Structure 1
Amino acid sequence: MEVVEKRFKSLGAALLTYLVLALLCVWTLGPLYWVLATSFKYDKEIYGAEATLVPREFTWKNYTTILFEKPFPNFFFNSVRIALVTTSASILFGTLGAYAFIYLRFPGQNLMARSMIVTYLIPPVLLAFPLFALFNKLDLIDSIYGLMLAHLTFTVPFCTWMLMSYFKTVPRELHEAALVDGCTRLGTLFRIIFPLSGPAIAVVTLFSFTLSWNEFLYAIMFTQNKWSQTITSGLSSLMVEDIFFWGQMMAGSVLASLPTVIIYFFFQRLMIKGLVVGAVKA
């Protein structure tokens, strides 16, 4: 009887576990399915009593409309430029900052290192109005260059802190041996430390790109015309008063998610390794 009771208990625990996992999958994948399905529906299947869960008739109309009749390609191109420049600058400044905090010694080093994570934790809304006033004086409103600078305020601290954790795992003997052999500090950084930090670079690349790509608050505040808007602020322009073009918005959302999915697909192995090493050995 005890063996039977144990088997029933283990079976019940397994069923409960699978039930919870199934609910979490539905919770996570349900909205993604709804976005994808809605992007292929006609309007009559989106609104009113004829709304369907599965499209009866597939259509590419929403995609052709948003690509050829709306300024979506301009939004996409602006987002790509801003995200690429922000990511590149974040990796450069984050690498230099992390190297300084880990391998150099100077007054206030620990305080400055801790302040990096504090600045990252500051809500962007607190910086929005001071940045708006500053950019307005510098004539950077309605400019993608202003958005690039604004995005650096939260990507650089993250990259620096993440790379600091990984640089601690690189043996100091390699750094000291390179200096003894006559290599400069910049040479040591970019010839020794940087190549060994591939997984961490992959992590900060993906996160910086994603943070910049998905950013909405600064994009909606600092850009007002279609020539400087990004995808996040541009898609919101498809809402006209109380009219929502859901099919076009969902098609734009599907297209907007492709770059981050592609980047994660190519960097997933390095990213997982960077997260694990940075978390365990930091």
Structure 2
Amino acid sequence: MTMSVVLAVTLQTCHGLPIHCVLKLYDRRFGSCLRYILKKKTAPHTPENEAAFEAFVRRGMMPGFLRYPKKRNETEDFAVTAREFLDEGNRTDSLAKYEATLWRDCIEHFECETKAYNRLADCQGRLVPHVLAHVSLSTTQLTAMPPEAAPYFEVKGILLERIDGFCLEDLTLATPLPSNLRTWQQLIQSGADVAHEINRRGIIMEDCAPRNVVVDKQSHTPRIIDLAQCRFRDELVEQWYKWDTDNPGAIGAVMVNLVQKKTGAKLPIRYPDYRAIIAGIKRRKAEAAVADRKRA
């Protein structure tokens, strides 16, 4: 299950040494989770869907339609989802709006992940993979499209360093089981620490889970590989930081439970002291306020 298409890519360099990469594509036509309409049920992309979407775009309907979910999201507690448009009466319009909303979702995921990797520029290759390039692919013959319609038929992508290793979620599938679980404990602790390091840079992951952590087989260090659904803040406030405490726990606590089910042992994992962190944020804000008053 995935939100994006992921392809293995090999680049041939002028020096003759190939570079193995991963190309992540934000394509509305694919991704089982992206096209969910019911639990474990997806709405497949079909020629009928594409024809409805293309006609919708050609009629110049996209700009006005995209303002509608944006306005609703500003006033409602729950975000507008693509699936709700499938319940509208006119089948052609409902399919077009469904695809249009998925297009918006893909663009938002691409922009979010790009912003997150930019913030983590100094951490690439350590906490997250290196970003090698950004790409834009066409899904149709753009010569047949008006210039203003062309962006709606482009697929954005990010070319990333390939991390050879295993998914942290699969840690307990190893056979035979290790006689000493300290290695597992260290890996899980490192995964939770990576999540916290990313949080400290003002990035909160909304889809934080062991399945999004890959352990490099050479360095035996974890990397977070999915940053498409994040929130950003320059300085974390108390209410927001409390919500963020699930990021390290979403990796650490889940893996502790998996290991306990497999071995019967409960591994001790350390989590950040959020009370101290929040107190520090308050202290810095108070000090800044005092300094501002003195300058005034």
Query: For the superposition of Structure 1 and Structure 2, which TM-score range results when normalised by the shorter chain?
Result: under 0.3
TM-score by length of 1: 0.21
TM-score by length of 2: 0.21
Q: Which is strand-richer, 1 or 2?
A: 2
| Higher radius of gyration, 1 or 2 | 1
